[in-house]
Amino acid sequence: MPDPAARNPFTPTFGSSPELLVGRDDILEAFTRGLDEGPGSPTRALLLSGQRGVGKTALLNAIEDRAQTLGWLTIAETALEGLIGRLVTDHLPALLRAHDPRSVTRLLDGVTAPGGIGGASFTVRDRHPRTPSLRSQLTDLTEILAPHRTGVLITVDEVWPGSAVELRELATVVQHLFREARPVAVVMAGLPENVDALLNAEAITFLRRAHHAILGAVTRTEARAALDVPVTAAGRRFTADALDAAVDATRGYPYMIQLIGYHAFAVHREGAVTLDAVERARHRALGEVGRMVHRPALRLLSAKELEFVRAMAVDDGPSRTSDIAARMDRSPAYVGQYRRRLLAKHIISAPAHGLVDLPMPGIRDYLRLDPEATEAGYTGFW
């Protein structure tokens, strides 16, 4: 019987993990094989890229959970200033103290009891002071873990060009550890343009050899499961037409799945989730996606890139590049350079030769209805 007080099973908050993660099994399995296969596996260095709301952080969380089930130690970080310092002075010393039985030694200073019998004084010395290098600490830690067939995973979220210096240091150290066949893995995640900028940085060539997974839409079957399974587990159900409408509204966009599910579930505290609830949820979800995803993404575009996508928003579906050139009063060659840039940023997709589309749910309506708010490529969503 449905529980009137059942917790809402959806989590439309950036950084939160969904109750059911879908569409990322291939990446998780490849990463797991990399840990099982040992040093030298290409998926022990993994790059994740994708637009806001495709589930990069949720996948990082799942990767960390998978590593922990295999006995690996994990360090979760964000590419903010001071990354290396936090690794060297916080994370690694804590792990070394917890897992190295020799981390603290007691040294005999001398006899202290009267008459020279019965007592002694000791000095406690930490074998792992707070200032060793990143490489020496990771070397010590992996030496401790290797006999147990485990290792250490470092994840870094929200990488961007401003973190290039510290990411270069981390990548260089990890590369040396790979060459020494040590049990270490690293996974980094960021927006497409930020990951591409780091890949193009000459001093971080190691990252170009990492396995690069680009996150996009999940399939209809996966979206259906991501909506239906949590609701069923909470003791409720979608009506058939409501579930079909909810799946269509998501267009395979993971953040939209969580928004639609959350708001539809919340319309009524019990009973079936109806078509009316889904329609109300869709309206609210599109508004939130506009504020949380479309507005920040569009504000990062140049004036001409924004002009390009506004020219696309005139159409109800895919746009011909020749029509966009005419609307912008520019040559096809001129327009082509902005097409390439927008594809690289995953703002648009190219479903067929000569066509481009706006794949993100609601972005077309957002461009049409709220142009002032926007001042300032891959796998499309259905």
Write the class of the CATH domain 25-96+134-214. Answer: alpha beta
Instruction: Specify the amino acid at residue 370.
Output: D
Length of the chain, in residues: 382
Q: Where are the beta strands (DSSP E) in the chain?
A: 45-49, 73-78, 104-111, 120-126, 152-157, 184-190, 211-214, 319-320, 355-356
Segment holding 306, helix H or strand E: helix 303-312
Please give the pLDDT value at position 184.
98
Query: How high is the pLDDT of residue 376?
Result: 39
Q: Of 30, 52, 50, nearest to 41 (Cα)?
A: 30
Please give the model's pTM, rounded to 2 decimal places: 0.83
What is the mean pLDDT of each successive set of 10 residues along the chain, which is 382 residues long?
73 92 97 93 95 94 98 98 97 95 59 52 56 92 95 97 94 96 97 89 82 94 98 97 97 96 95 97 93 90 95 95 97 95 90 92 82 44 67
> What pLDDT sits at residue 132?
85
DSSP state of 44: G
Query: Over the stretch 33-88, which tens digit does the pLDDT of each residue have?
Result: 999 998 889 999 999 999 899 999 999 999 999 999 999 999 999 999 999 999 99
**CATH code 1.10.10.10 for 303-374:** yes
